[in-house]
Structure formats: structure tokens, C-alpha cells
Amino acid sequence: MAPRKLQIAAAGLGRMGHRHALNFLNRTPRAELVAAFTPDPKEIAWGREHLEPFGVTLYTNYDEMISRPGLDAVVIGTATSVHAEEAIQAMQKNLHVLCEKPLSTSIEVCRQVVDEAKKRPHLKVMCGFSRRFDDSYRDAYSKVEKGLIGRPTILRSQTCDKHDPSGFFVEYAAWSGGVFVDMSVHDIDLTLMFFGETIKPKSISAHGCIAVQPGLAQHKDVDNAVGIVEFWGGQIAYYYCSRMMAHGQEDVTEVIGTEGKLSVNLNPQSSLVNYYSGAGITREVPAHYYGRFEMAFVQEANEFAAACLDNTELPMRLDNAVRAVEIGSWLQEALVTGKQIHFDESGKRSEKASL
Amino acid sequence: MAPRKLQIAAAGLGRMGHRHALNFLNRTPRAELVAAFTPDPKEIAWGREHLEPFGVTLYTNYDEMISRPGLDAVVIGTATSVHAEEAIQAMQKNLHVLCEKPLSTSIEVCRQVVDEAKKRPHLKVMCGFSRRFDDSYRDAYSKVEKGLIGRPTILRSQTCDKHDPSGFFVEYAAWSGGVFVDMSVHDIDLTLMFFGETIKPKSISAHGCIAVQPGLAQHKDVDNAVGIVEFWGGQIAYYYCSRMMAHGQEDVTEVIGTEGKLSVNLNPQSSLVNYYSGAGITREVPAHYYGRFEMAFVQEANEFAAACLDNTELPMRLDNAVRAVEIGSWLQEALVTGKQIHFDESGKRSEKASL
Amino acid sequence: MAPRKLQIAAAGLGRMGHRHALNFLNRTPRAELVAAFTPDPKEIAWGREHLEPFGVTLYTNYDEMISRPGLDAVVIGTATSVHAEEAIQAMQKNLHVLCEKPLSTSIEVCRQVVDEAKKRPHLKVMCGFSRRFDDSYRDAYSKVEKGLIGRPTILRSQTCDKHDPSGFFVEYAAWSGGVFVDMSVHDIDLTLMFFGETIKPKSISAHGCIAVQPGLAQHKDVDNAVGIVEFWGGQIAYYYCSRMMAHGQEDVTEVIGTEGKLSVNLNPQSSLVNYYSGAGITREVPAHYYGRFEMAFVQEANEFAAACLDNTELPMRLDNAVRAVEIGSWLQEALVTGKQIHFDESGKRSEKASL
Amino acid sequence: MAPRKLQIAAAGLGRMGHRHALNFLNRTPRAELVAAFTPDPKEIAWGREHLEPFGVTLYTNYDEMISRPGLDAVVIGTATSVHAEEAIQAMQKNLHVLCEKPLSTSIEVCRQVVDEAKKRPHLKVMCGFSRRFDDSYRDAYSKVEKGLIGRPTILRSQTCDKHDPSGFFVEYAAWSGGVFVDMSVHDIDLTLMFFGETIKPKSISAHGCIAVQPGLAQHKDVDNAVGIVEFWGGQIAYYYCSRMMAHGQEDVTEVIGTEGKLSVNLNPQSSLVNYYSGAGITREVPAHYYGRFEMAFVQEANEFAAACLDNTELPMRLDNAVRAVEIGSWLQEALVTGKQIHFDESGKRSEKASL
């Protein structure tokens, strides 16, 4: 008899949701996508064409879907505003949960998800930070583990999107939580990965500007921002996020240690081709983050399935996802208020800098 | 009802065979691996662990496997010496065939396979040259198609393996057909892809040496070889193949046109990580060709399945595989005899150079 | 009759001074090094061997040297603490002055030099920021001028030295003005170059840590620091300086505009050689800034000589040198106090952030 | 008293000649350019403006110039056809000689120069192969000397010029000796450098085509050629030369050893700038060989001056220059005749391949 496959349902078939659905349908051998939910008629239409013929039942009611007998898990790729609620409902139905990041742009709501998960330790609940599943970041991490760069001390990381002149990001800013929460949260998560999950911020600064999307001003957001987080213990991370790149997606990380340095994706490329012309030698760049991280999402799906089926530890802790959003929110606060934020060694906000 | 999946069987579970089997089992959504054959007890043991639990029936008799009712296709990854025979037998059972390259190291045997396939035009028969399915080569090709480099005129291509001091390649040389047939055949196939499938050799030169594997002398083979093929129409391809690389697999192609140039994998890398240390800045390189071309093999499996199910054209013609081996054999002949080989415009061997 | 050459004297024959002396002696065709001053017996000994035989008179008294009849100019490469005084004295003797950066670590003293120079507009007085003379920075600048990247909006720049375990930099920190004044001053100068010389800071943040040179604590300095300067007009520069690099000098700049981006030296290299070994593919990096910028110093000497002889405009304004040190001092202040600094639009310090 | 400077005269002020003249005038501290010769009125006019004002006497008669009292040396940068004659005449006047490559396109004439030089061992006579003076090639060579790549076994080297549609190269082909003598001679010289000067060809093949300069056919030359030289001792060099590059000068060398590999200029660049735009990431390339090798020519002038003044050994042997042209001529012969050329171990031509 063939080994049991994880019976999984997908919530949301939009930008990110439909990718999760397809990955569980086609590229996760140990899982079987049995159901998908979306309230959106366009997405349902897509599901009729791409999922239903392969045995996936479509639902327009989330609760109905997660009540389906035999279901083991749900992957949540709906709008951020419903992530937390759907995750909690799924746990209450005894389902494992893989939730797109972030759990919520509200720390409090994030914490509710974590609390719910703590009550059900037998469930696997993961908030997917795709870079953790990327071969190159893992290669870098294993080199740090081997001690190749000494003690990691400075981390520079940027998430830079291709400029989208459609106005999409202006609307999106109304509820995205701001650029540090929406974009840099990945870089912050990498900081927790490379500096260690117990690290505590000591002070935070941030500055931003609006260069190409004037409409962002109404949402107190920016299209370019730089922030610094100094940690107790003498480590510093600094971030750049931007939605202004002419050339494509450019997500770069450098980890600088006392005895060496690692860079990840310092020279982005969409293929191994260089084109030589009168203009010089040109290398193309992925247009979007999925072009850079597609295989990381596939890896994520497979590792989640394995952890659920084998009851093994997940590759990342749920409360990290909260930590990352929390630090992102502080950066956003520092950006908006124009004030540096300080923390004492216990982690409490303090008015004064600790020197 | 779910769409029908291609019922496929795998012949051979060795170095290449087991990868094909796993790709059809796990990473080819439209195919279902139902059977696998190998005469080798070690490979059977591997199959018991990795295939049987997933519903794959194991066979130690090839004929028995291909006689299995309901079977649609077979992927052949056995030793080169039996490729042709197994391919022909499969066609005679009305099965589609995906065969590892080369069909045979003998041109005559290759032609028998092609002849058999011509008799059964409803069957999809493909000899997999993995680079044709590689994103980067396809990106380069589409740029050529768009006219970005004018007329492709010079092609430089190399297949260079990491040095393997185990002695494996000395044994292997006994029946591999020689380095040009075994290694450069990929570069020759790329030549047909970029210069066009109807191109005809005008003259061929080759030189080689033994630098690290003295045992190759007994098989009249070498561990480093350089060859040039000049074509009627004024195009030149030149090849380097080697089994001596200290750093890993380095398969590079340059296509130089009258108005531009393309390079593929000029700067090999196994990940997007650079490591900075006292020695400088270091990038690792894949140790083996599968590290470079894994996703191309997956793509090949998927496109083969699609062509079989949808009865659409295969992405490459079977007789190309024969052409590539043929040119490889001539290069090997030029290498061994120390003589330049000439052809007239009709394709016939000629004693004298055409100037 | 051969054209007149600029008669120049060199003050200081130490680390930087001897390089200036040799550049004016050997690589500045329109100048003639006629004299050199140093109070240091070791440096005098070096001058006896390397300068005196070529017609250069050595002095141990600065005033005596600059009083030498026929002298046109002096290049000052002594300790920072005497730069300003020597520059002023030279101007008072009616000499053109090329002074190593910085004029002083004190803004007030810097201003005295500028004031003295303003009184003598016929004199060429330049504080050399070598990167302004570097081919690559000039190439980047000309691309910005051509509008290739739209409006420059974000500038990332780092000055990172190879780790020197000798303790030199701990002593040096006593009077260097701190890492932002000593190292980032180059990056700040580039900011003025790319964003325009009239740009005004709006707010400044900085964070630092001591990772490998504990002795720096006594001088309130650090070995790694990150700072952000936000400008009125919506531009942001952020800097990283470090004395901890394992691999060598790594001075990188990125200028990100509304329509494109430029990077300078993102992939440092000491030659065009790559070494392929079992470790991968390795590129060496210059060990020191002079390895990176040697030809920029030669260019600087030649352009200074030309401006003096032809009475043409210098390639950079003297008061920029003061602006760069000023911004560097503010970054250092923000680092040491742990407080963000704000400025109103007139350039005055303000207690509150302007949002 | 200042040390004596080498009194040198320049013959020829054309494309290459005027660069040598300026390098000895301005960038060779131990030499003094005192005279220059050219029969060409345009070049004389250039000399009046750029050399005469700096004390250089102009001559329209070569013999008169080399008879000038006090002269030590001459640098020959005239047309190739008079190199040898002028070199011999200079030696007969007891002058050191630095001659642009090649001495002649005729081996016999080359040998006359060598013979003349042998009679006057106190004279320094050098035929400048600029790449020997290039930092990167020297870096690669020192790594080979240290044993980093084991025994150098395969050398790939290319000299590729930017396409010049003016027709210049068609005229030039009338007397250039052909592409292998004119262009690949540099790559051959590098082969002697890396494989050792005593290495002997065993067999030679070459193929070429005309892709963009149809006029070359009348001179039996081509605009793209590939050649292989196999050496006794089991080493192979292969060359590509082209005048068809769209992007600029691309002179690349790889030296592949039994334990590692070195590449030189695999990724050509004209500066350290990368430009990011909608097209991707672009790096410009030098348009001409002088853009790549300018500093090597300066280094050559300085080392030649030093060897003359100090009576030390020159960095390269004169008869190498003959060897390089000789091998280039054989490659050209193999190209034109369409026949592989063989040599026995004593270096004699033989009809048959030695296997």
C-alpha cells in the first residue's frame, strides 16, 4: 500500500494562493491537494480550469472546506487581513496550517495565532518565510554554522521590487502595514536566522522617501526606506526596501562576520545567459520575487508536508514570524515618527539610549 | 474525472536511470510511474525502498515489463549498449520512448532506431539531450531567434567534468565511444540547435592528450580534447572536453553572431552565495552535471509526457541524435588518426580540402 | 623652450605623503617635485634614497621649505593635525595647495582654511578626495549626467578596510575624529557629488559596534558603523564603514535613481584573474585602498598641476571638503549619543523631526 | 647629480608609435625622449604640437635620428614592413632597441634581426608583446609558478577585436601576414610563457571563415579563425581570433592545469561600473586593445629603460618573438591549405601524424 499522503486544502487562489495550490497539486509528492476555497468568482473560474479536473473540490465557504472529513492541513494564501482568523479556525478543526506571511500586520493578532498554536502542540503551524527554504540562503547558513565567517556581526539585507507604475502599490499600502512590515519582514526574518532567534533590539532608526509613487503619502507610506536595528550583544542589521527598481527584483543579503563575509544574490540573474552587444555585456534579472524564489516555495511545501506526516519539527518557529512583524512595525514607527526607538536589555521600550 | 496520466515504466535504475524514475514518479504531474526494470540486485534493492512503496511494480525482465497491459511509454536509462535494442523492443510493443543519450555509440545502430521510429509515426520517440530543456539554453536560443546576435557564426562549447581519480572513467572508456561521442555530443547537439539542423560539416580536426588518466591510452581515448568542425556555409564550432577539472562541472557555451554574442554559464555557480575570506571571494561550482542540469531533466520528463498525451510534436527530432553522434565519431576519428577529415557539399567524405 | 612645469614641494613623507611625493616626481609630467619636508628622521632617510638623487631638496623645517624661491605649490600629506596650519601658511606664502583629506577633524579649523583660501582666489586650494578622480566613479557620474538613471534618490556607499590586528587603528582612533569622519567622509563626498553640492541634511541616524578591536571603546569609537542621512528634497544616503574585512578593501557605491541604478565596485578584484580549485572559483581583492585607488591619486596630481598652470577651475570645491567632514561629525555624534539629529530647512539643528 | 636617464628616440608616430613616444616622454621616469622620426607629414604635425614643446627633436630621416650623438636607444613603432630594417640599423649604431611586434611577418627576416642582436650581446633588443607586462597575466603566471594549478596542460586564448566596418582591416590584410600572425601571435606568445619557451609543436590545425568582411577573400584572409596547436609533451593550445565583436575588445586566456585552472579577463570590463536598467544589468567593455592593455605598455617602457640602464636581463627573449610568428605562420598555412601540419620530435615538418 502506498504511504498516506497529506490531505491538504488551499485557502485563497489569488496572486500567492494559486501558486501554493499548484505547488501542493503538482510538486509535493507526499501531499494531495483535495480542496480549495475562494470567495472570488474570478478565482473560482481559474480553479475550475486548473484544479477541478485534477480532483480538487472547490469551495466558496471557508468553514465548509475546513470541515471536510479526512482533511489534514490547510495552506492559507488569502488576503493578509483574514490570515489569522482562518489559521485559528483551521487549528480549531484540528488542521495543520501553513500560512502565507504575515500572520497579521497587527502584533496582537499575530500573538493570538501563536497562543492558539501553543494550545495544540500536536499541530504543525508555520508562517512561511520563503527565503528560509531557498538553497542559497541555506548554503550561506551552513557556512555560518561551520564557523567560516567567525561571529556574524553585521547583516545587510534588501528587498527591492521592480517599479510597478499601475498604482497597485498605492492601494495596497492602505492595509499592507507599511514597507518595513510588508517587504523588510523577510530581511528581518533572515536576521533572526543568522543572528539567532533570541536576539533583542537595542535601538531602531529608519528613514524613507517617496520618489515614484506620490499617492503613498495618504497612507503614510514610502517607496524607498532604509532602517537600522542595533541589537543587544553588539550586532547590527540594516535594511533597504524599495519599489522603484527599473531592472527587476533585487533581493540581496550580506552577512559580515568577524572572520569573513557571505553574500547572497549580490549579482541577480534570471538565467545563466549573458548578452554581448554594442551596449556592453548584459544579464537579465527576474521581474518578480517568484522568479527568484519559486523553488523555495516548492521546498517549503515539501518540508511542511513531511513535518506533518512524520510529526517532525518544522524548520522555523511560529513565534519568529511574530518577532519579525514586531521589528518591522517598530521600523515603520521610527520611519513615520522620525524618532529613534530604544529598548532596555529586558526588551522594554525606554525613552533614552543605552550607551 | 481526472485527466488520464501517462503510464510510464523506467528501464534501468543506475546513475541516470534512478533519476529518471524519480522524476517521473514525483515531478511529472501528467505522468504516473507504474513500473521499473533492472537486472541489477543492488538497483532492485534501491527500487524496493524508493519506488515500490509508491505503487511502482519492479521487474527484472525487460520484456515482461514492457508487455504490461495499459503501459504507454518507457524511459530508458540503462547502459548505453542496450539503449537501442530496448528502444526498438518498446516501439514494437507500441510504446512511446524517451531514451537517455546516446542511442548507441554506433551510427548504424542509431539508424536502426530511427528507422524503427519512422515506421511508427504515431509514437513519440526522443533521445534526451538535456541541454535542450535547460532554461538558460532556451533563453539564449530565443534571443538568437529574435535576431539579437545577427547570424550565428562561431560556436564554442565545452563539457568539462570534475576530475574523478577513482579510475571509473578508464573502464568506462572501453565502451563509451570516446570523449567526443560521450561528452562533446552535447555540444554538437547545441550546434545543431543554434546553427540549424540541416547544417553540413566541411572539415573536421581534433587533438587530444592524456594528462591525468594514463590508463586511457589502452582504449585510444584521452582526458582532454579539442576539436573543430567547419561547416558548409561558413560557420565554425569548436569544442573542448575534459575530465580534469579541479573545481567541478563546467559546461560553457558561447554563440557568436555577426552582430552580437551570447554566453551560457560562463561563470558557473552552485548557488547564489559568495564567500569572502583571506583567500579572496569564492564561488562554489556544481560537482556534477546533474547539479547543473537537474531541472532540465525534470522539464524533459514533463515535455515528453505532454507530447505523448496531447500527440503534439516533440521539442527535438530523433535523427538529430544520430547526427550528433555521427559528428562526434568523426571528431574521435580525427583525434585518433591525427588526420583532418573533409566532406564535399553533398556530405560525402572527400580526400581533399575544399577551399 | 619647454613649457614651464609646476614647481611643487611635498610636506610629509609618511604613509600617504611619500606616495604624493613619488606621484609628483614620476607620474605628473607637468609638475616638478623640487622639495620635500618631514620632521621625521626615518622619513628623511627614505627621502635621501628615493628623492634626493632625483634633484629633490629635503627640509626638516616646513617654513624654510615653503619660503624657497620659485616654488609654486605644496602637496600636504602630513598628519591630519597639522594639515590646516600648513595649508594656511602655504597660502600665506602665495602657494597653491593640494591637501590630503581631511583639512581637519574640527569643522571650525576646516573653515579657517576655507576662509584663508577665499581671501586668495588666485590660488588653487584643493582637499583631495581621491574617489572624485577615479575612472569608475567618473564613468558612473557621466551616466547620471546623461540621465540614465533618472533622478538619483538613494545612495548606498561603504568604506571597508581589511582587518589590521596590529592595534594601529586603536591608537589612530585617539585623533582620527571617529570612523564616520575618517572613513565615511569619502562616501559623504560621493553623496555631494551624486546628489549635488547644495543638498541639505534633514535628519541623521547612526549605530555602531565594536567587534574585533575592544581598545576602541576608550576613544568612543567603533570598528563597524552604519549611518543614514536623509536630505531635504527626499533623498537618502546610507553608509557602512568597517575595519573588519577578512578579504581586503571593499569600497562599494550604489546610486539608485527613479529610472535606473549604478553600482561601482560591487565585485572588487585585484586583477582580472580567477583561480579555479577544489574550493571553487576565487578572485582576489586589493588589500588596501591604495591598491584600489592608486591611479586616482595619479590623476589627482595631474589635474591639480594643470589647474595651477592653466589657471583653470579645480575639479572639486574646497568647501565641499568641509561639508563632508561636517556631515561625518554629525554621524559620529549620532553614533556616540544614540540620538537622531534633525535639521530644519534652513540647515539649523532642531529638536524635533520635520515630517 | 641626478641619475642618468636613458636617452631614447621614437621611430614612427602613427597608431602605436605615438603611444610609445608619449609613454617614454611622460610615464617612464628613468627615460628621456629626445627625438622622434616619421616620414609622414601628418605625424610630423602631431609631433610639433605634442613632442617638440617638451624638448623632443623631430626628424624625417631615420638614419639622421639614430646618428644623433648621445642617443642610447630607439623604440620602433613604424609600419611592420620596416621594423626589421630599422631595428638592424639601430643596432649597428649601437643602440638598444624596443620594437613593436612583429619584427616581421617573414620568419627569415625575423631571424636576421635575431642574428644581428646575437652579435651584439651588450645591447638590449626586445620585441614587445604587451601582455607579458600586464598585471593580470603576471598574476596568473606567478600562480602557475607557485604550482597552484599543477602542470599547465591546456591553454585557450582569444584575441577578438571590435568590428570595424570602415574597411580598414581589408586593406590591412594585404600585408598583415593573416589573422593568426597579426592577432593570435599574442596568444601564441602567452603559450610560450605558460607552457615554457622550449615547447615544440607536434601538429597544427586551423579553420576560418569570412562573416562580415567579404573583401578579405582577395587576400586569402578571414575575419574569424580557430586553430589548435598540439605540442610534444602532451600539451594543447587552442586559439580563436575575430574581428567581428559587437561589444568591444575581448582578449581572454584560460590556463588549465592538472590540478586547477586560471582565467584572465573572462569577464571583460572597461570600468568597475554596472548599469541597471529595464534591459538588465550591463557592463561596458573596452573598445580597443589599448583600452585593455594601456598600463602594460607603460610597464614595458619602464622595464625596458631599467634593463638598458642597469644592464639587467630583459623580461622576455628576442627569439620568442620569432617562435610566436613562426607558429602563427603555420596556423595561417593550415588555415589556407585546409591541411593539418605535422612535426617530428626534432621540430622538422613531417608528412605523417605521429600518434
Name which of A245, A227, A223, A225 is nearest A236 in CA terms: A227
Amino acid letter, A197: E
Structure confidence at residue A355 as a pLDDT band (50, 70, 90): low
Touching chains, B (3+ CB pairs < 8 A): A, C, D
Q: Which of B53, B135, B275 sits opposite A148 (nearest CB)?
A: B275
Q: What is the pLDDT of residue C351?
A: 82
CB contacts of A230 in chain C (<8 Å) are 207, 209
| Strand pairing category for C96-100 and C73-76 | parallel
Determine the average pLDDT of the residues in B104-128: 95
pLDDT for B353: 77
* Strand C73-76 relative to strand C6-11, pairing: parallel
Say if the Cβ atoms of D279 and A284 lie within 8 Å: yes
Which candidate, D122, A270, D148, C46, places its Cα nearest to that of B272? A270
Instruction: Say which amino acid occupies B66.
Output: I
Residues of chain C with CATH 3.30.360.10: 136-294+324-350
- Residues of C within 8 A of D55 (CB-CB) are 2
Assess whether pLDDT exceeds 80 at residue D353.
Answer: no
b/e map B112-143, b = 16+ CB within 10 Å: bbbebbeeeeebbbbbbbbbbbbebbbbbbeb
Give me D41's grid cell: 607629414
Residues C276 and B247: beta-carbon distance below 8 Å = yes
Instruction: Give strand ranges (E) for B29-69.
Output: 31-37, 57-59
Q: Right CATH number for C136-294+324-350 from 3.30.360.10, 3.40.50.410, 3.40.50.720, 1.10.10.10?
A: 3.30.360.10
CA angle D177, D181, D183 (to 5 degrees): 115
Q: Measure the CA–CA gap between A283 and D287, rounded to whole angstroms.
A: 19
Complete DSSP assignment for B174-233: TTS--HHHHTTHHHHHHHHHHH-TT--EEEEEEEEE-SS-GGGGGGT--SEEEEEEEETT
Quick check: B198 contacting A, CB < 8 Å? no
Say whether residue C276 is in contact with chain D using an 8 A CB cutoff. Answer: yes
CB atoms within 10 A of CB C3: 10
* Mean per-residue pLDDT over chain D, rounded: 96
Residue D227: closest CA among chain B residues belongs to which residue?
B228
Asked if B285 lies within 8 A of C282 by C-beta distance, the reply is no
Nearest to residue C10, comparing CAs of C67, C77, C103, C110? C77
Residues 6+ apart with CB under 8 A from C26: D29
* Across C145-172, average pLDDT: 96
Confidence at residue B352, expressed as pLDDT on a 0 to 100 scale? 79
Q: How far apart are CA B76 and CA B74, in angstroms?
A: 6
pLDDT of residue D1: 57
Contact call for residues C250 and C284 (beta carbons, < 8 A): no
Position A154 pLDDT exceeds 70: yes
Rounded distance between C-alpha atoms, residue B151 and residue B138, angstroms? 17
Interface chains of chain C (3 or more CB pairs under 8 Å): A, B, D
Tell me, yes or no, if A176 comes closer than 8 A to chain B by beta carbon. no
In the block, which residue shows the cell 607579458? D132
- Total residues found in chain B within this entry: 355
Q: Residue A144: how many CB atoms within 10 A of its CB?
A: 19
Chain C positions in Cβ-Cβ contact with residue B281 (cut-off 8 Å): 247, 267-269, 282-285
**Any CB–CB contact under 8 A between D240 and chain B?**
yes
Phi-psi region of D62 (alpha: psi -120 to 50; beta: other; left: phi over 0): alpha
Distance from CA of B55 to the nearest CA of A (A): 6
**Would you call C81 helix, strand, or coil by DSSP?**
helix
Phi, psi (degrees; rounded to nearest 5) at B140: -60, -45
CA distance A164 to B53: 48
DSSP H helical ranges for chain D = 17-26, 41-50, 62-66, 80-92, 107-119, 135-145, 168-172, 179-182, 184-195, 289-310, 318-337
Mean pLDDT in residue range B287-292: 95
Cell numbers at B319, concatenated = 535523427
Quick check: C282 contacting B, CB < 8 Å?
Answer: yes
What is the rounded radius of gyration, in angstroms, for the C-alpha atoms of chain B? 21
> For chain D, first and last CA: distance in Å?
65
Question: Torsion-angle region of residue D12: left (phi > 0), alpha (psi -120 to 50) or beta?
Answer: left
3-state class (DSSP) for residue D155: strand
- Average pLDDT rounded to a whole number, residues A275-299: 97
Question: Looking at the complex, does the CB of residue C272 fall below 8 Å from at least one CB of chain B?
Answer: no
Nearest CA among B147, B129, B143 for reference residue B263:
B143
The torsion angle over the Cα atoms of residues D176, D178, D180 and D185, rounded to 10 degrees, is -10
Confidence band of B207 (pLDDT split at 50, 70, 90): very high
Closest Cα of chain C to D143: distance in Å?
A: 9
| pLDDT band for position B166 (cuts 50, 70, 90) | very high
DSSP structure string for A42-62: HHHHHHHHHTGGGTPEEES-H
C24 phi, psi to nearest 5 deg: -75, -30
Distance CA B105, CA B110 (A): 8
Contacts of B355 in chain D (CB under 8 A): 336-338
Q: Which grid cell is C256?
A: 539608485
Is residue B1's pLDDT more than 70? no
Q: How many CB atoms lie within 10 A of CB A194?
A: 22
CA nearest D272 in C: which residue? C265
> What would the grid cell of residue B212 be?
591525468
CA A227 to chain CA mean position, Å: 18
Task: Return the sign of the alpha-carbon dihedral for residues C296, C298, C299, C301.
Answer: positive
List the CATH code of the domain at A6-128: 3.40.50.720
- C-beta separation of A236 from C211 below 8 A: no
Instruction: Tell me if B238 sits within 8 A of B184, measured CB to CB.
Output: no
Q: What is the distance, to the nearest Å, from the Cα of residue B72 to the centroid of all Cα atoms in its chain?
A: 23
**Measured between CB atoms, does C226 come within 8 Å of chain A?**
yes
Whether residue B260 and residue A275 make contact (CB cut-off 8 A), yes or no, is yes
C-alpha grid cell, residue B30: 501528467
Superfamily of domain D134-294+324-350: Dihydrodipicolinate Reductase; domain 2 (3.30.360.10)
Q: Are B2 and A54 inside 8 Å of each other by CB? A: yes
The residue of chain D nearest to residue B342, with distances taken between CA atoms, is D338
Cβ of D263 within 8 Å of Cβ of C274? The answer is yes
Which residues have C-beta within 8 Å of that of residue B212, sequence separation ≥ 6? B163, B165, B223, B243, B244, D258
Half-sphere exposure (CA, 13 Å, Cβ side) for D346? 3
pLDDT band, very low/low/confident/very high, at B60 (cuts 50, 70, 90):
very high
List Cβ neighbours of D241 (8 Å cut-off, separation of 6 or more).
Answer: D158, D159, D160, D179, D180, D183, D184, D187, D224, D225
Residues of B in contact with C268 (CB under 8 A): 281
Is C228's CB within 8 Å of A205's CB?
Answer: yes
Note the pLDDT of residue C2. 72
The predicted-structure confidence for D154-181, as pLDDT tens digits, reads as follows 999 999 999 999 989 899 998 889 999 9
Residues C42 and C105 sit within 8 Å (Cβ to Cβ): no
CB burial class (10 A; 0-12, 13-18, 19+) of residue C312? exposed
Interatomic CA distance for residues B354 and B202, integer angstroms: 8
C30/D54 Cα distance (integer angstroms):
10
Q: Smallest Cα–Cα separation from A42: which of A7, A74, A14, A16?
A: A14
Please provide the DSSP assignment of B252-264 as one string: EEEEEETTEEEEE
* Cβ distance of C258 and A234 shorter than 8 Å: no
Give B158's contacts in chain C (Cβ within 8 Å).
Answer: none
> How far, in Å, CA of C20 to CA of C305, rounded?
12
Q: What pLDDT was estimated at residue B307? A: 98
CA atoms of D66 and D73, how far apart (whole Å): 8
Closest CA to B190 of B241, B255, B127: B255
- Single-letter residue type at B92: Q
Q: Per residue in C78-112, pLDDT tens?
A: 999 999 999 999 999 999 999 999 999 999 999 99
Q: Name B162's Cβ contacts closer than 8 Å, sequence gap at least 6.
A: B245, B246, B247, B248, B249, B287, B288
B244 touches C at CB < 8 Å: no
List every span in chain A annotated with CATH 3.30.360.10. Answer: 134-294+324-350
Query: Cβ(C297)–Cβ(C133) under 8 Å?
Result: yes
Three-class secondary structure of residue D10 per DSSP? strand
Average pLDDT over residues D78-90: 95
Q: Is the ipTM above a cut-off of 0.85?
A: yes
Query: Predicted confidence band at C240 (pLDDT cuts at 50, 70, 90)?
Result: very high
For D92-127, how does the pLDDT look when each residue is reduced to its tens digit (9 = 90+)?
999 999 999 999 999 999 999 999 999 999 999 999
Match 499575530 to its residue by C-alpha cell.
A110
DSSP one-letter string for B197-210: TT--EEEEEEEEE-
Q: Please tell me the predicted confidence (pLDDT) of residue C121.
A: 96
Sheet of strand D57-59: strand arrangement: D57-59, D31-37, D6-11, D73-76, D96-100, D125-128
Answer whether residue D204 shows pLDDT above 90. yes
On average, the pLDDT of chain C sits at: 96
What confidence tens digit (pLDDT) does each residue in C299-344 have?
A: 999 999 999 999 999 998 999 989 999 999 999 999 999 999 999 9
Distance in Å, alpha carbon of A226 to nearest chain B alpha carbon:
23
Distance from CA of C64 to the nearest CA of D (A): 22
> Is the CB of A283 less than 8 angstroms away from the CB of D278?
no
Side chain identity at A65, as an amino acid letter?
Answer: M
Q: Give span(s): CATH 3.40.50.720, chain C.
A: 6-128
